[in-house]
Chain A
Amino acid sequence: MQKRKLVMIGNGMAGVRTIEELVKIAPDAFDITIFGKEPYPNYNRIQLSTILQGEMSFSDIIMNDWDWYESNHIQLYAGDQVVRVDTKEKIVYSESGRAVPYDELIFATGSLPLMLPIPGINKQGVIGFRDIHDCEMMMQAAKQYKKAAVIGAGLLGLEAASGLVHLGMDVHVVHLFGHIMEKQLDETAARLLQRELEAQGMNFLLEKETVEILGDDRVTGLRFKDGSEIAADFVVMAAGIVPNVKLAKESGLFVNRGIVVNDYLETSVPNVYAVGECAEHREIVYGLVAPLYEQAQVLAKRLVGMVEKGYEGSIVGTQLKVSGIDLFSAGEIYEAYETKAIKVHNELDGVYKKVLIRDGRIVGIVLYGDTSDSTRLFRMMQQKQDVSSLTDIAFLKEGGAKEEDVAMMADEELVCGCNGVTKGTIVQAIQQGASTVEQVGGCTNAGRSCGRCKPLIAKILEHTLGDAFAGQAQKETLCSCTDLNRDEVVAEIQAKGLTTVKEVMHVLGWKNEEGCSKCRPALNYYLGVIYPEYRDDRDSRLVNEKMHANIQKDGTYSVVPRMYGGVTTPEDLRRIADVAEKYRVPLVKLTGGQRIALFGIKKEDLPNVWADLGMLSGYAYGKTLRTVKTCVGATFCRYGTQDSMQLGIELEKRFERLDTPHKVKMGVSACPRNCAEAGVKDVGIVGVDGGWEIYVGGNGGTDLRAADLLCTVKTAEEVFEIVGAYLQYYRETAKYLERTSKWLERVGLSHVKEVVADEEKRTALNERLQRTLVRYEDPWRKVLEDEPLRQHYYTKRSIPVSVKED
């Protein structure tokens, strides 16, 4: 049977969610094609402001990466917009000239920023706030210009303004009304918010109607209706959004404010649907993802004919994502004649709560400063629960009953507002095996939009799994000496300027004063990455790295001298042979890393063996670069296209001794036959005619993993630059003892590709790497030069028998 053809216009949040739902329930029902005007895969638009506020990067907010489309056999045309739809012939036409026929068509074109129809609106430096491009413009403007104005003090305007303040601009927020966020907050809450935002550096101009944008080509200022003016060389319009319906109108769909749809998201034209901010349902156009995701679910079912109940509309709650600010609002905001309000206003803590009640039911919520009751109240409001008997207020009650709150939550209580996920659904996911916040999100979508609900999900995990989660949580924390995880520890070290292992443990309240075998090496590592000039704490390293030799089960050690690229000389071989004889070394063996190991050497002999060898440490024991395996390559091999040995030797010389989260192995082959097994190395290089392919994330150990192609470059110099940036990025972001293969899977290949492709980032990474590399010296030589060091670590006393018996 031929699959039906589904085409979607718009590659945004509501549309792609529809497709996600669809492939979940019927993976093979459709041939899917998506046109997206923006040149990206689907990303989390909601998080754009966190990028401005410096908390995330573009790659962090990608929700469905390119691989997702590919593995679900979805044809995505990103960066190509649909310009015409022929609903008779059922064909869509794109700007680049594609013509794609459809059986079913979805409009998911979202909204556009409302650009006020005033003189000057088209001047340079005036933008809306909707997409990645707008974000980039703001970041760029902040580098060149100083004075920004944001028109509109609603959610978007305030998030934009907060971002611009963070980027270092002078920001004026212009608002038509007497208080900010008038659609979500009453005057009391708005004043509290305004004060807090002013403290963060924002300026407000209230009751100002902008009538003209001043300047020649570029904006220089704003003029208001009262005649006053301000200077501004950059303006963000955030006065509202309008559904993006031009194409739908031209295609003959019935459009009011948005594309009008019924409860099954069907438009006025057969086989054509609309979902998201472009759709108008029962005269409402929604501007938040929660209701749109409900629509997506209904539409997916409609498409496969699983028609149950249609979409009946939603009540929405609002939060503002500005750091340091906690606010929630839903439903009615202002008191009316028939409503009764319960209010708490604690000026001491800056907390304000208002619940509006009509006929014994909650009809409105405004929370500022403490939103911990938001999900509970919101649920009561949605369910129209009778609250007449619950209206007493506990004043001055003790805090900290949070754990119990989770226990008392009803199963149908909403946890993730964005995705409509209830406590019951989450508990079910946990019982079916989800054991981290990410896994819960993976199977229920909870937490995958604004992220506000993640702390609550964690609490439910904790409560449901009990001790099992405590065990889980321990894995997440650095070790049982602390409740902090890797990221928190690193952030604290940086924020508080902590410089030694001891200081970290002391200041961050370690439960064991001197740490343990897990956290001490990890802390020592993290400090070394943060401070290039860090002085290593040798006693926080485990035995092999402390001794610079690998301990064996009988307490002897192995010695593996450096043999760059697996290439040696008769002199070196002779010296190794002499040493092996002199110290009666029990085993001389070729290692899997193309070099020679001497096994079974006594601790007290180590310094002498090193001295007699006169060679450098091969670091066969370290969390560092081990070896660079090479093939013979173009120098001798008839297939070789490149000098693999030379490149391997050079790589080993450049990056040896560097501390890394786990060991790093490299291989360089001179042609795709790959005799140096570059495909299972942390970094593998394969020579091809005219260049080198760089593979990453391979592993030949416990969990076998084939490496992925990172990029192809032309010169050895580029290889060093890419590999250097890659290594440094791994060093800075991996958890201690996380091999590159695991790390790469965690952070994502496409993300790493993006980082190393970005010239600015690449250069900065290499600079930090170079500053670190200069601190190393050969550890064997150091021991030979340092008598006390030798005494400390490499001596063994023997006391003659003096036990007397009578």
Chain B
Amino acid sequence: MQQTVTRVFVAKYSELPERIGQAVKVGEEEIALFRLTNGDVRAIENKSPHPKGGVLSEGLVSGEYVFCPLYDWKISLIDGNVQPPDEGKVKTYAVEVDGDDVYLLL
């Protein structure tokens, strides 16, 4: 069995507020979308890698990082890596912006 990449439309670029995470439910997956100050759009799984979990979409965004709103972990929006001294990784998704349409590549 072979899996193909699927483009899923998730948002209008112009409707994405800068530096405020948006929670999107795609199928069964909860995804947090972020439009950064530099214009890029990033998508990660909306679940903190902290053992107690929690959402990430409400976190404070700084540059290419989000701070977990519950336990203050600093997480890269580029590769999903939790920054030291904490450890862990969240799932990241590829994003494609086509005109005003934002797609996730799943």
Contact = CB atoms under 8 A, between A and B. Distances in A.
Interface string A540-584: 101100110001011100000000000000000000000000000
Given A540-B60, A542-B69, A792-B17, A803 B4 contact: no
Nearest to A604: B23
B4 A806 contact: yes
A684 B37 CA distance: 45
A513 interface: yes
B67 A803 contact: no
A547 B58 contact: yes
Contacts of A546: 58
Contacts of A553: 52-54, 70
B90 interface: no
Contact of B8 (A517, A793, A802): A802
B58 A797 contact: no
B22 A803 contact: no
Given A803-B27, A806-B1, A797 B60 contact: no
Given A514-B37, A543-B69, A802-B27, A797 B11 contact: yes
A555 B55 contact: yes
A551 B62 contact: no
Given A542-B60, A803-B27, A806-B1, A795 B22 contact: yes
A512 B22 contact: no
B106 interface: yes
Interface string B5-20: 0101111000101011
Nearest to A513: B63
Nearest to A517: B67
A503 to B, nearest CB: 15
B6 to A, nearest CB: 6
Task: Tell me what chain A mostly uses at the interface: helix, strand, loop, or mixed.
Answer: loop
Given A797-B22, A798-B25, A805-B3, A520 B9 contact: no
A793 B62 contact: no
B25 A797 contact: yes
Contacts of B54: 551, 553-555
A539 to B, nearest CB: 5
A407 interface: no
Interface string A773-806: 0000000000000000001110111111111111
Interface in B45-75: 52-55, 58-63, 67, 69-70, 72, 74
Contacts of B19: 514, 539
B58 to A, nearest CB: 4
A276 interface: no
Interface residues of B, number: 37
Contacts of A800: 27
B13 to A, nearest CB: 14
Contact of B58 (A514, A543, A795): A543
Nearest to B8: A802
Contacts of A793: 20
B75 to A, nearest CB: 11
Contacts of A284: none
Given A792-B20, A797-B10, A802-B8, A543 B59 contact: yes
B62 A797 contact: no
Contacts of A805: 1, 3
Contacts of A520: 60, 62
Contacts of A543: 58-60, 69-70
B2 A514 contact: no
A806 to B, nearest CB: 6
B24 A797 contact: yes
A328 B63 CA distance: 48
B25 A796 contact: yes
Contacts of A515: 62
A803 B6 contact: yes
A26 interface: no
Nearest to A788: B17
A804 B54 CA distance: 28
A517 B60 contact: yes
Contacts of B55: 551, 555
Contacts of A801: 26-28
A795 B16 CA distance: 11
Contacts of B70: 543, 551, 553
A804 B6 contact: yes
Nearest to A514: B62
A791 B19 CA distance: 14
B10 A799 contact: yes
Interface string A494-534: 00000000000000000011111100100000000000000
Interface in A257-294: none
B11 to A, nearest CB: 7
Contacts of A802: 6, 8, 26-27
A209 to B, nearest CB: 67
Nearest to A798: B25
B62 A512 contact: yes
Contacts of A804: 4, 6
Nearest to B58: A543
Given A517-B67, A795-B22, 11 more contacts: A514-B37, A514-B61, A516-B60, A517-B62, A539-B19, A543-B59, A796-B22, A799-B25, A803-B26, A804-B4, A806-B2
15 contacts: A512-B62, A514-B19, A517-B62, A520-B62, A539-B20, A551-B69, A555-B54, A795-B22, A797-B25, A798-B25, A799-B24, A799-B26, A803-B26, A803-B27, A805-B3
The 8 A-B pairs at the shortest CB distance, nearest first, are namely A543-B69, A517-B67, A514-B62, A555-B55, A801-B27, A543-B58, A798-B25, A797-B24
Interface of A: 512-517, 520, 539-540, 542-543, 546-547, 551, 553-555, 603, 791-793, 795-806
